[in-house]
Structures are given as structure tokens and as C-alpha cells.
Copies of this chain bind each other. A is one copy, B any other.
Amino acid sequence: MKFGPIEFRHLRYFTAVVESKSFRAAAQRLHVSQPPLTRQVQQLEELLGVSLLERQPRGVELTAAGAVFYEEARNLLALAEQAIDRTQMAAQGQLGRLDIGVFGSAVFDAIPRVIQAFRLAYPKVDIVLHNLDRAGQIRALRERRLTVGFNRFFVEEVGLLWDVVLHEQLNVAVHEAHPFAKREQLNFDDLADQPLIVYPRTSRPSFIDQVLSMFHSRHLTPQIVQEVDDVVTAIALVSSGFGLTLASDSALTLRLPGVVYVPLEATEAQIDLCMIRRADDESALLRAFIDVVHAVLPPRG
């Protein structure tokens, strides 16, 4: 006489009986015989302490409470189906939340392209962008607040993996009044005695360090006239005739009045865009995102 808690079986049986208005018909629909159905519904009524059906010779009729419970049961069964669907979607990486760390000039071109493509392929995934420098990204990754990070020049970090996802050329941003503005291409020697604006210094090694090493390998010493925090400020200074600066291809979408971009000689004048992630993150969502990144960004930049 003692029953356990309510189970989905009770709901399935009860709703079938209600919809068939008959135990026998419902039994047929459920591919069971009639007596178990009777028993389960009786149990359900006893568990609830409520009479749900009025048994009549011509079939069954819902009581007022039965009508309420029927609606609830239908709802629960539908939600259970949804729960399964959603879970399976999540397992395939089609549902969930992706926290992406971004920084620097890549946010102007490469990142938006990746995100747009990913949104299209996985519309039910929430994407949250976090503006973090490299150190911040690494910390956030370790603390699981981030799924992936995009940055330049990752050093090896235990527990983290990084891939180069894009090679970009360097460009020189000059004011249109500057003689370089007419040139098809420039090289490092051209820049040696030019007033250079450099960025950013937030976490070493950084963009600027790689640029400086390119000068050093050519035994050149650039004339640094100003240090700034970010690309936008640097280009703004170029726009106002302060000097020259270097920018990756991604920054080319950043158009300010009077600023002209001239490609730098190709040899070694490359800057990488890297993606960093946890080594132990084997989620389908991250896998799917990585695939999109490689599909969107040119296999060889």
C-alpha cells in the first residue's frame, strides 16, 4: 500500500487515458494491457490524494482537478522532451555559451568575421566578448571564465594550448601629406629615421616587441616619438600628423581622415593572430568554434 514518488510513467499513462477517454483505447496506444494502466492511474490518484477521473460506463470523464493535472502533465512531458533536445544540442556544441577574449587590432576585422560565421552556424550559442589583454585572458582561461582568447605572440603556458590562426602583413600608417604616402611599398630601412608611434605596452612581450626585434635584426634603431595604449589612438595621432605607426592588416578597416596605409616589405614583416584555449577543454562547443575559425580565416594568411 506504500508507493514511491510520482514518475513520468504516471503522467504518460494518465494523459493517454485522458486523450483516449478510455483505459482500453489508451492501453492499445501505449502498447500495454489495460490492467497496468488502471493500476498506475489509481496509484497516481492515491499519491496526489486527489480523484482525477470519473469512471463511467461509457468511458472516463475528467474531474476539475483532473483537468488541472492533465494540463500540468502535458506541460511536464513537453518540457521533458525539450530538456532532452536541449541537452543533446548542448552535447553537440549547438547550445551553450562561449566566452571569447579579444584584444588589439584583430577586433576590427578577423574576430568579427569569425563571430558572424559562428553565429550563422550555431545560432543558439550565446557569445560573450571580453576585452582582456593577454595576461587577463590567461587568468580568465585558468579560472574558466573564458573559453578561448585571441591575441598576438603567445608564450608557452602549461595547461594552455595555442594555435596561430592568421598571418597578417604589416602596414605603415602615414599621413597623406607625407612623401611615403605615394609609395607602393616600404621597407624597414625607410622607417629607421622616421618618427614612430608605438603601442601597446600592457603585457610583454607584445606587438611592439616583435616590431622592435624586426628592426634590431636589421641593425636599425627606430625613432620612437610616442607610446600609446591602443591602435586607435596611434592611428588618430597619425591622422593629426604626429608621425608614423605600424598596423596589421586587420587595422585597415580603421579609416581615419588623412591616413594612408602602405604595405611593408613582406619578408619577416608578418604578425600573427593566435588563439589560446585550455588543453583540457574537450567541449564540442570549443571544437565547433575552432573549426569555424579555421574555415573562416585563410589557411595561410
Contacts and interface: CB of A to CB of B under 8 A. Distances in A.
A5 interface: yes
- Could you say how many copies of this chain the assembly holds? 2
A3 B151 CA distance: 48
A93 B65 CA distance: 8
A64 interface: yes
A63 interface: yes
A213 interface: no
A135 interface: no
Contact of A48 (B8, B48, B68, B87): B87
Contacts of A72: 79, 82-83, 86-87
Interface residues of A, number: 37
A284 to B, nearest CB: 7
Interface string A49-65: 11110000000000111
B50 A87 contact: yes
A293 to B, nearest CB: 18
A117 interface: no
Given A7-B9, A76-B76, A79-B79, A68 B87 contact: yes
Interface string A217-242: 00000000000000000000000000
Contacts of A48: 84, 87-88, 91
Interface of A: 5-9, 12, 48-52, 63-65, 67-69, 72-73, 75-76, 79-80, 82-84, 86-88, 90-91, 93, 95-96, 283-285
Give me the 10 closest cross-chain CB pairs, A-B, nearest first: A72-B83, A65-B91, A68-B90, A50-B91, A69-B87, A65-B90, A7-B7, A64-B283, A7-B8, A65-B87
